[in-house]
Chain A
């Protein structure tokens, strides 16, 4: 059975801090890894990673995949209160199946 594990499950920081969220996976037929941010309703897409070692960056967010370690990290620098959300990691396997991890609940306090 495909498994995606995120850590920590919950994180509380102050504005301006840098955070690192982790995602590890054990799946058959890995295709890609995706990061999403979920606030009230729909998850919104952040990054899609398919190649090991190539960092994807968008503003204060960045992510990298390590296929040897079967893991990925999502970094957020200079956090803001608007970054408070659940961050979901999803792994795509064959048949375009997306399996989600439990998510990391990030709370950024002013």
Chain B
């Protein structure tokens, strides 16, 4: 099973709404990522979770709030978003993240199919 599952596939929300994006993997991966991708642009890193702890926050506005309840699940809570936040939100997971800074991951990152978010 090399699947990363994201729900919902599509989401339309108003600027005052609160919603959550979900990501799930059962590959035993201990690194999970949130990326944002605008049309015709590469994915931009938002957050990295390593062993269920937030290890990287790329100065993302606080209206995006990640949560990693356990090693299989990653959520992204959304509140008071702006229309410019409309994008494809991609979740990825990776087999191993090493605790020591000099070491790196030894496998590829698997991506979910993404949630197409529209903020109106």
Contacts and interface: CB of A to CB of B under 8 A. Distances in A.
B83 interface: no
Please report whether the interface of chain A is mostly helix, strand, loop or mixed according to DSSP: strand
B109 interface: yes
A45 B110 contact: yes
A95 B48 contact: yes
A44 to B, nearest CB: 7
A102 B113 CA distance: 19
A81 B65 CA distance: 40
Interface in A69-98: 88, 90, 92-98
Interface residues of A, number: 25
Contacts, number: 67
B45 interface: yes
A48 B107 contact: yes
Contact of B42 (A32, A42, A44, A88): A88
Interface string B85-118: 0001010101001100111110111111110000
Contacts of A8: none
A48 B41 CA distance: 21
Contact of A97 (B48, B102, B108, B112): B48
A45 B27 CA distance: 16
Closest 4 CB pairs of A and B: A31-B104, A100-B42, A42-B111, A45-B108
Interface of A: 29, 31-32, 34, 36, 41-45, 48, 88, 90, 92-103
